[in-house]
C-alpha cells in the first residue's frame, strides 16, 4: 500500500513538472480546507470489516484528496455513539469534515423538538455538516429555512439537498411566478412528480440567503448516468447558484469525468470512496488542454 501511494505522488509531481494542472492559477485548487474543488466521499461502512478499520485503510491512501466524509443512508443511527465518535475523530485527524447524510427527515416524525435534539447530538458526536433532503422532508419552504437557521445557530454547517423533480402540487401557477416570491401551494399532495429547475434554484437561493453553506444536487433526473446527463439543467444551476456553492452527486467515473471536463477542477463533487483516486487524477490533469486522461482507464495502473 505504501509503495502505491509513493507511486501516485511521483506521477503527480512528474505531471506538474511537465506543466499539467499549472496553466492558470485560478484553476488550481488550494490546499485543505477548500471552498471549491471539494471532494466529498461516501462512507465505506457497508464493508464486512469493522467500520473504523475500513475507513483507516482508505484514508491512509486518499486523505490528501478528500475534503468530506458522508455517512450514507443513516448508517450512523445503527452504530454505537463511541464508534461514531471514533470515526469522526479519525476523519478530523485527516482534516476531513463529516456530514450526516440525509437522515434528518426520519426524526421529524417524532415532533419538532426532536430535530433540535438531533442537531445537538450530531454536534456532540463530532459531525460538522447536517444535510437536509428537501424532497424527503416534505416541509413548507419556511419550515425548511427555520431548520437551516437552527443548524447554523448551533455552529454547524447546513447543506440542503434538492432534486429537480417536485410534487406537482408544489409547482406554483405560471401567473404567480414573481421573481423571488414564495407562493404557497393550494393543491392537495399527489404522487405525480414534475421537473422544475427554476423552482429548485429559487428554493436553493433562499436557503443560501438563510445561511446554508452549500447546496447538494440529487443525481436523480440530472446526472445519474453520463449518457443521459442533463447538461442544460446543470448549466442553469451553476449559472444561478455559482460553482462554489453547489455540489453534484457523481454516481460513476464517467459522470465525474464529464463534470471536470466541463467545469474544471473547481467543481464540487460527491463520489463513492472507490472513485476518489480516479477523480483526483481527472482534477490533476488539465482536462481542457490535454487528452492524457484517456490513456489511463484507472489510477490503479500504478499497482
CATH of the domain at 141: 3.20.20.70
Q: How far apart are CA 142 and CA 127, in angstroms?
A: 25
80: left (phi over 0), alpha (psi -120 to 50) or beta: beta
Classify each residue of 65-93 as buried b or exposed e, where b means 16 or more C-beta atoms within 10 Å of its C-beta: bbbbbbbbeebbeebeeebbeebbebbee
Question: What is the domain range of residue 131?
Answer: 39-166+195-284
Q: pTM to 2 decimals?
A: 0.78
Q: Phi and psi of 160, rounded to 5°?
A: -70, 145
- Grid cell, residue 264, equals 474544471
The stretches of 154-196 forming alpha helices (DSSP H) are none
Q: Is residue 300 part of a domain?
A: no
Residue 53, pLDDT score: 81
Residue 295, pLDDT score: 38
Report in angstroms the alpha-carbon separations of 301 from 8, 196, 277, 292, 295: 10, 42, 11, 14, 10
Closest CA to 38 of 225, 246, 237: 246
Structural domain total, the chain: 1
Q: What is the widest separation between alpha-carbon atoms in the chain?
A: 63
**Any idea what DSSP says for residue 110?**
G
Q: Phi and psi of 97, rounded to 5°?
A: -80, 160
Residue 113, pLDDT score: 75
Q: Is residue 248 part of a domain?
A: yes
Grid cell 424527503 is found at 136
Q: Is residue 29 part of a domain?
A: no
Q: Is residue 31 part of a domain?
A: no
pLDDT, mean of each 10-residue run, the chain (303 residues): 47 41 53 92 67 83 94 69 91 95 67 82 94 85 93 96 79 53 54 81 96 93 82 95 95 91 95 93 62 40 34
Q: Is residue 181 part of a domain?
A: no
Q: Is residue 133 part of a domain?
A: yes
Residue 40, pLDDT score: 96
Amino acid at each position: 500500500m505504501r509503495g502505491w501511494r509513493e507511486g501516485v505522488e511521483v506521477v503527480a509531481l512528474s505531471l506538474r513538472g511537465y506543466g499539467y494542472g499549472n496553466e492558470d492559477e485560478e484553476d488550481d485548487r488550494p490546499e485543505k480546507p477548500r471552498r471549491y474543488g471539494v471532494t466529498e466521499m461516501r462512507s465505506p461502512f457497508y464493508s464486512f470489516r469493522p467500520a473504523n478499520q475500513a475507513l483507516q485503510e482508505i484514508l491512509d491512501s486518499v486523505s490528501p484528496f478528500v475534503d468530506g466524509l458522508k455517512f450514507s443512508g443513516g448508517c450512523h443511527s445503527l452504530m454505537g455513539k463511541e464508534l461514531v465518535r471514533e470515526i469522526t475523530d479519525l476523519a478530523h485527524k485527516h482534516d476531513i469534515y463529516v456530514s450526516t447524510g440525509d437522515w434528518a427527515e426520519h426524526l421529524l416524525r417524532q415532533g419538532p423538538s426532536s430535530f433540535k435534539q438531533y442537531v445537538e447530538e450530531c454536534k456532540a458526536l463530532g459531525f460538522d455538516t447536517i444535510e437536509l433532503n428537501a424532497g424527503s422532508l416534505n416541509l413548507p419552504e419556511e419550515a425548511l429555512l427555520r431548520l437551516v437557521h437552527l443548524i447554523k445557530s448551533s455552529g454547524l454547517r447546513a447543506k440542503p439537498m434538492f432534486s429537480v423533480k417536485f410534487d406537482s402540487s408544489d409547482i406554483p401557477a405560471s401567473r404567480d411566478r414573481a421573481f423571488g416570491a414564495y407562493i404557497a401551494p393550494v393543491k392537495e399532495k399527489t404522487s405525480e412528480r414534475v421537473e422544475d429547475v427554476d423552482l429548485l434554484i429559487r428554493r436553493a437561493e433562499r436557503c443560501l440567503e438563510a445561511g446554508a453553506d452549500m447546496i447538494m444536487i440529487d443525481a436523480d433526473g440530472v446526472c445519474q448516468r453520463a449518457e443521459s446527463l442533463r447538461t442544460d439543467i446543470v448549466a442553469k444551476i451553476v449559472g444561478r447558484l455559482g460553482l462554489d456553492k453547489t455540489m453534484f452527486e457523481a454516481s460513476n467515473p464517467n459522470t465525474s469525468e464529464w463534470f471536470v471536463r466541463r467545469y474544471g477542477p473547481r467543481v464540487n463533487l460527491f463520489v463513492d470512496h472507490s472513485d476518489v483516486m480516479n477523480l483526483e487524477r481527472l482534477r490533476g490533469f488539465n482536462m481542457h488542454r490535454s487528452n492524457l486522461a484517456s490513456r489511463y482507464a484507472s489510477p490503479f495502473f500504478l499497482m
